[in-house]
Amino acid sequence: MKARLEVFQNESANRGVEFTVKTETGKYHVLHLVQINLDKEVSVKIPKQNLGEPKNTLWVALVLLMKEMEPILYLIPSKILSEPDNYIFIDNEQSERFKYYSNWEIKVFTKAIPQLSKYAFANMIKSIS
């Protein structure tokens, strides 16, 4: 809404909190919302079955929470997860038997912030338009 896009909550989503965004040009994108409380955690895991197959119109909206600080929002293209760097973005693929536990993990730590900064909301919103 801050970027003046139409935002709809996907109320039928059983895969987590999702929003559909309609751009001024009429394109639709899906934002899968995840949050991490950095006072308690250093990573967030997104079950693959919840997110679905990475594609150009699917984004991870990562919200960083810390005491006495404003939340920080990142918009991460889901395609980044399909080509993990095994540093910040990790693919925790499981065998066929345990496929249900497969997930993508995003780690947040001090040395990761410069790389994550390129996905800051202000930098990425133009990619959605």
Q: What's the DSSP call for residue 110?
A: G
Q: Is residue 45 part of a domain?
A: yes
Return the exposure string of 90-118: e unless at least 16 CB atoms fall within 10 Å of the residue's CB, then b.
beeeeeeeeeeebbbbbbbeeebeeebee
Q: Is residue 92 part of a domain?
A: yes
Q: At 96, is the pLDDT very low, low, confident or very high (cuts 50, 70, 90)?
A: confident
pLDDT one-digit tens code per residue, 28-86: 889 999 999 999 999 999 999 888 889 999 999 999 999 999 999 999 999 999 999 99
Q: Is residue 57 part of a domain?
A: yes
Number of separate domains in the chain: 1
Q: Is residue 11 part of a domain?
A: yes
Give the whole-angstrom CA distance, residue 20 versus residue 31.
Answer: 6
CA atoms within 13 A on the CB side of 58: 14
Percent of the chain's residues with pLDDT above 90: 58
pLDDT number for residue 12? 55
Q: Is residue 1 part of a domain?
A: no
Enclosing domain of residue 28: 6-128
Centre a 10 Å sphere on the Cβ of residue 26 and count the other Cβ atoms it contains: 7
pLDDT number for residue 4? 61
Domain CATH for 115: 3.40.1350
3-class DSSP assignment, residue 76:
strand
3-class DSSP assignment, residue 102:
coil
